[in-house]
Amino acid sequence: MAKVKTTFFCQNCGSQYSKWQGQCTACKEWNTIAEEVIQKPEKSDWKTPTSSNNKRVSKPLLINEIDTSQEARMQTSDAEFNRVLGGGIVPGSLTLLGGEPGIGKSTLLLQIALKLPYKTLYISGEESQKQIKMRAERINPSSNHCYILTETKTQNIFKQIEELEPDIVVVDSIQTLHSDYIESSSGSISQIKECTTELIKFAKETATPVVLIGHITKDGNIAGPKISEHMVDTVLQFEGDRNHVFRILRANKNRFGSTNELGIYEMQGSGLREVSNPSEILISKKDEDLSGNAISATLEGMRPLMIEVQALVSTAVYGTPQRSATGFNAKRLNMLLAVLEKRAGFRLGAKDVFLNITGGISVDDPAIDLAVVAAILSSNEDVSLPKDYCFASEVGLSGEIRPVQRVEQRILEAEKLGFSTIFVSKYNKIALKNATIKIQLISKIEDLVGFIV
C-alpha cells in the first residue's frame, strides 16, 4: 500500500494549494478549500475491462498510412443532436453534457438511448431503475437495446461493461461516481478527475463512445476541475428557462465538428420534441396588426432564425424614465435610443422604453439592431408595421446602417417563410439572383424612418 498523500483543492474552481487558506486566490471565493487524498493504492485487485481481451500496443505510424475509413459516425434518431455533434457520435469519443438542474439533461439522453439501434448501457447514480422505467414509459415504452444500471462505484460498473459489451455508454452523472482508489467523497475534485480518466481509458481502448452528464455551478460552469473539460472530446451545454418550453443545445467544444451549430427542442409531457423550423414558433400568431412588433433575421451559430422583437414606448410616470430589456443587452438598447434621439430627432429621453425578445431566448447578434429600432419607432408613433417586413442590419453610432455577415442566408430564410420585404444595408454585397423577396437597401437610419412614419 502506497503512502497516503493529501493536498488542498478549491471546490469551486479546482485550484490546488499546499496548505489550507480561507480564500481561494483564483476565484476569490471564501471557505471553498478542502483537503483531499491524492495518493492512490496499488491497483492490484482490479483490471480494466479491456486488459484481458485487448492486447494492442500503440506503434508510431506515418500520417499518410493512418486509416480513417472505419471512423464512421453512429447516427442517432435525433437530428438536432446529430447536427450539434457534427453528424453523429464518433466511436471512442467522450461527450460531456451540462445544464441547469431540471432543464432536461437526463430526459434528452434517455430518449436518445431508448431509440438507438445499438446496444446501450444507461448508468444512473441519481435515480433507481423504477424511476427511470417510469420516465421511459412516457418517452418510448418499448426498447430492445437499452440496458439500465444503477451503480456509482466505477469498479462495479466496468465489471458490468465487460460482461455486457455495450456499443454506447451513458453516465448520469459524473459527479455521482466514485473510485475505491481515491479516499474522498463523490463529486470532489479528485474523484471527478479519477473517474473521468478511467472512462477515457476505456473509451479510447475499446472505441466505445461514452456520454457523461455533468452538474453545473451557480455561475453556470460545469462543476469540478476545468481539466475535465479539456480531457473530454466534446462539451455540450443544454440551455433554457424552466418557465419556457424551449431548450437550446449548443457545443462549447467539439474535436470532431463545428461549435457553431445548435439544436432546439420543445419540452412536452412525452419528452423533448425536435424543432426543425424554430422561426415559426418564435413568431407569435396575431389576428390584428399591433404597433411595436418587428421581425428580425438573426443567426444562432450557423442556423438562421426569424425572431420577433416587441417594444413599448410610453410617457414616463416618474421623474426618471425606465429602460428595460428582456433577452437583449440593456446597454445596447440605451445606445440605440441615443442614436434615435441624436440622428433622427425623436425625443425619447422622457419616455419609458420596454423591449422584449419573444420565445424566452437571448440574442447578441448585432443584426437585430435594425429590428429593435423599427419596433421602438412603431410603438412611439403607434403605427403598426406590415407583417411581411423583416430587418437584418447593424446600427452604428452615427446612424449609419452597417452590413452584417452571411446576409444571403438570412434573406433566403426570410423568403422561405413568406416575407415580402427585407431591409438590409446597402453596403452588403448581395449576389442572389431570381429572389422573389424584395431586398430594400438603406444606408442611414433616416431612410428607415421614411418607411415607418
In whole angstroms, give the CA distance from residue 412 to residue 424: 13
In whole angstroms, give the CA distance from residue 322 to residue 314: 10
Q: Residue with C-alpha cell 473510485?
A: 179
In whole angstroms, give the CA distance from residue 197 to residue 158: 13
C-alpha cell at 272: 423533448
C-alpha cell at 299: 443567426
- Helical ranges in 207-321 per DSSP H: 227-231, 278-282
Amino acid letter, 448: L
Q: Give the C-alpha distances (Å, rounded to integers) separating 452 from 19, 109, 190, 389, 435.
A: 66, 48, 61, 11, 24
Q: Which of the four pLDDT bands, split at 50, 70 and 90, describes residue 68?
A: low
Amino acid letter, 193: K
Q: Which helix (H) or strand (E) holds 435?
A: none
Contact 212, 231 (CB under 8 A): no
If you average pLDDT over residues 282-302, what whole number do you get?
A: 82
Residues 6 or more apart from 44 whose CB is under 8 A from it?
A: none
pLDDT digits (tens, 9 = 90+) for 123-179: 999 899 999 999 999 888 788 899 999 999 999 999 999 999 999 999 998 999 999
In whole angstroms, give the CA distance from residue 265 to residue 291: 30
- The DSSP symbol for 63 reads G
Contact 378, 292 (CB under 8 A): yes
Is the omega angle on the peptide bond into residue 190 within 30 degrees of 0, that is, cis? no
In whole angstroms, give the CA distance from residue 194 to residue 180: 10
Q: Which of 224, 237, 229 is nearest to 13 (CA)?
A: 224
C-alpha cell at 436: 422573389
C-alpha cell at 224: 469540478
Most confident of 11-20, 212-221, 337-346: 337-346
pLDDT digits (tens, 9 = 90+) for 392-446: 999 999 999 999 999 999 999 899 888 999 999 999 988 888 888 999 999 999 9
Contact 186, 175 (CB under 8 A): yes
Q: Residue with C-alpha cell 417563410?
A: 417
- Dihedral sign (CA 119, 124, 129, 131): negative
Percentages helix, strand, coil for the chain, rounded to the nearest 5? 30, 30, 45
Strands 303-315 and 293-300, bridge-based pairing: antiparallel
Residues 6 or more apart from 70 whose CB is under 8 A from it?
A: none
Is the model's pLDDT at 19 over the cut of 50? Answer: yes
In whole angstroms, give the CA distance from residue 154 to residue 191: 10
pLDDT digits (tens, 9 = 90+) for 80-115: 999 899 889 999 999 999 998 888 999 999 999 999
Better pLDDT: 190 or 211: 211
Q: For 236, phi and psi rounded to 5 degrees?
A: -110, 145
In whole angstroms, give the CA distance from residue 347 to residue 165: 70
Q: Which of the four pLDDT bands, split at 50, 70 and 90, describes residue 64?
A: confident
| pTM (global) more than 0.75 | no
Strands 6-10 and 16-17, bridge-based pairing: antiparallel
Q: What is the number of other CB atoms lying within 10 angstroms of the CB of residue 200? A: 18
